Amino acid sequence: MGEPETTGLLTDVSRGLVRLHREYYGKGPRKAKAYMVNDTLVSILEGGFTIVERTLIEQGNADVVHDIRLSFHRAMENEFRGIVEKAMGRKVVAYMSQIHHDPDLVVDLFVLERGVEPLVGEHEETLEGD
């Protein structure tokens, strides 16, 4: 487990990303994890597809859900970056996102500007359902 300060920063990242999903999708993930190793932050959000998205996936249209989700992440990139930059106090130099439908996961990868000291941390929490 990371240092308490790092864990607190990662908690802020996870909660901010969950809030963004809840605000724009009307539903948020059930579980959030964030990991930090040096200049790389990985966020994993579990659960959170809407009823419409799950229906499309069940009907064999997972590619449509992936396209919509990735389009959303591209459109909202500044907001995603802003959550991480505010929490970590460092500029995000690269942002990548991937959606997986079975299991229901969103993985966001943030590469931050080089830090002064090595940093390792972890945050995980299970969230109340919508």
**DSSP classification of residue 61:** -
Q: What domain range is 38 assigned to?
A: 4-124
Residue 52 pLDDT exceeds 90? yes
Share of the chain above pLDDT 90, in %: 68
pLDDT digits (tens, 9 = 90+) for 75-119: 999 999 999 999 999 999 999 999 999 999 999 999 999 877 666
**Total structural domains in the chain?**
1
What token pair was written down for 125? 């929490």
Q: Is residue 115 part of a domain?
A: yes
pTM of the model: 0.84
What's residue 85's pLDDT? 96
What's residue 1's pLDDT? 42
Amino acid at 53: E
d(C-alpha 118, C-alpha 95), whole Å: 20
**DSSP classification of residue 60:** T
Q: Is residue 99 part of a domain?
A: yes
Amino acid at 102: D
Q: Is residue 130 part of a domain?
A: no
**DSSP classification of residue 38:** T
d(C-alpha 47, C-alpha 38), whole Å: 27
What's residue 2's pLDDT? 46
Segment (H or E) for 25 = helix 4-25
CA-to-CA separations, 92 to 13, 15, 24, 110, in angstroms, rounded: 13, 18, 22, 6
Lowest-pLDDT choice from 14-18, 50-54, 103-107, 114-118 = 114-118
